[in-house]
Each structure stands twice: as C-alpha cells, then as structure tokens.
Structure 1
C-alpha cells in the first residue's frame, strides 16, 4: 500500500499558521465496536511446545508439580485456582484464552490436540508465554 503525503495548514493557539505534512491518515473505525481483536491471531507462540531448555524451572515444575503449574496458570489468567480440577477441558480453555490475550494464531482444534497429547509441554509453554507477555 503506497503512502501518500498531504500538506495541511493548521492554526496554532497563538494565531500563527503552520504547514504540517500528514503522512498517515487516521484509520477507519471498525464497524463492530464489540470486537476487540481479529478472529485470526497475528503472531506465533514466543516459545516452542518442546522448548524445555528456555526455562528449566518451569520445565521441572511441569514434570514434578504439574497440578501446581495448572493452578498457577488459572490464577494468572483470571480464573480460580481450582478451575483446572473442576472444569472439563480446563487446559483447552486456558490455552484458548492465552491465545486470545496474546493475539496468537491457532484454533480450538489445535488447542485440544496439544493439551490432550502433550499436556505437560503445553502447560509449560503457556506458563512461559504468560511470563513473556509480562503477566505474573
């Protein structure tokens, strides 16, 4: 998309006129004010699913204390600590929530596959992602 420049004359508070070059026009307001993000994310996860060496502490917690890490994830995403143990599919929901919060590409189907077949790795990845997003 080509950038067009436009020169506009504006009057300052003191009454003097100045020429201002406008490089970027204001963006159009979306039609649906209720939608806060696009359906498809705009980025990938900041760490890989099997990127266990990037955060050894989280990896050890995921291996030895998975339930503690699940509880921490639920709390960090605004849910109750018992959510992973009381809600069917809680890690799928948590993963989808983190993807939405971070604008991460993916789908509910992929979330389901990853959390059902690689749950410890998925929980560790979600924990690292929240840390990288600055959510403690």
Structure 2
C-alpha cells in the first residue's frame, strides 16, 4: 500500500489599492531630476526606453517624429497606461499633454510605472 500526500501552497496575492489619479502631476518632473534631464535633452531616446519598460516595442515612439498634428505613439501609450492602471482622464487631456508637454508627459508616465511597479519576493523557509 502506498500513500500519496498532496500539498498545495496558496498563490501569492497582492492587492494594491491605488488612487484613480496620476501619482504625480504633469509638471512634477523634478521629482527625479536625472530622468527629467534625460527626457528634456534626448526625448526620443527617453521615450523609447520608457516604451520598452512598459512592454511595448522599443521603436514605437519614433513614430511621433513623423509629421502629424498629435504624436500618435505618445497618445496611445498615455491612453494605454490610464486604462492599465485605472487612472481617470480624458482623451482630450491626453492629446493636449502629448502635444504641448511632450517630455513632461513621458516623464509622468515613467514615474507612474516606477510608482506602481510592485515586485513580489518569495522567501523559502526550511524548518529543521
């Protein structure tokens, strides 16, 4: 007679009760001065890095440099981020921010990703 013992461990669950607002304002770039300078002096590079960190194609923000009324890739990223994190806002406001405050908009999105990034650390404990 063989006996089999089945052990199931509960899955780690993290519930984050975040606000439905952006974690920082559009003009709060100096919360992270090096990042602000990077975004101001090299906006395409900063946007590409931020898009990659968000899980999008590295080259997506380069579409913003094609002639158009509103930077399409930045607008798409901003709307996507609002949807992913449940942030209130409007498409009209997103258009205004991406058109008039390009670098600040990317900085705000980068800060939001950093603020909402929760790392799960599993620790194994062995009883002896």
Q: Same fold (TM over 0.5)?
A: yes
Q: 1:117 aligns with which of 92, 96, 100?
A: 100
Structure 1 residue 77 displacement after superposition: 2.1
Cα displacement string for residues 1-42 of structure 1 (whole angstroms, at most 9, x for unaligned residues) = xxxxxxxxxxxxxxxxxxxxxxxxxxxxxxxxxxxxxxxxx6
Higher relative contact order (CA 8 A, sep 6+): 2
Gaps of 5+ in 1: 1-41
Other-structure match for 1:80: 57
Structure with the higher fraction of residues in helix conformation: 2
Other-structure match for 1:106: 89
Other-structure match for 2:29: 52
Structure 1 residue 135 displacement after superposition: 7.2
Number of residue pairs the alignment of both structures matches: 95
Is the 2:63–2:72 contact (alpha carbons within 8 Å) kept by the matching residues of 1? no
Scaled by the length of structure 1, the TM-score of the pair is 0.64
Gaps of 5+ in 2: 1-18, 65-70, 120-128
Cα displacement string for residues 95-134 of structure 1 (whole angstroms, at most 9, x for unaligned residues) = 0111111111001111111100111111111111111111
Other-structure match for 2:10: none
Q: 1:43 aligns with which of 14, 17, 20?
A: 20
Scaled by the length of structure 2, the TM-score of the pair is 0.68
Q: Which has the larger radius of gyration?
A: 1
* CA distance in structure 2 between the partners assigned to 1:65 and 1:90 by the alignment: 17
Is the 1:62–1:69 contact (alpha carbons within 8 Å) kept by the matching residues of 2? yes
Measured on the aligned residues, the alpha-carbon RMSD in Å equals 1.9
Is the 1:76–1:135 contact (alpha carbons within 8 Å) kept by the matching residues of 2? no
Structure with the higher fraction of residues in strand conformation: 1
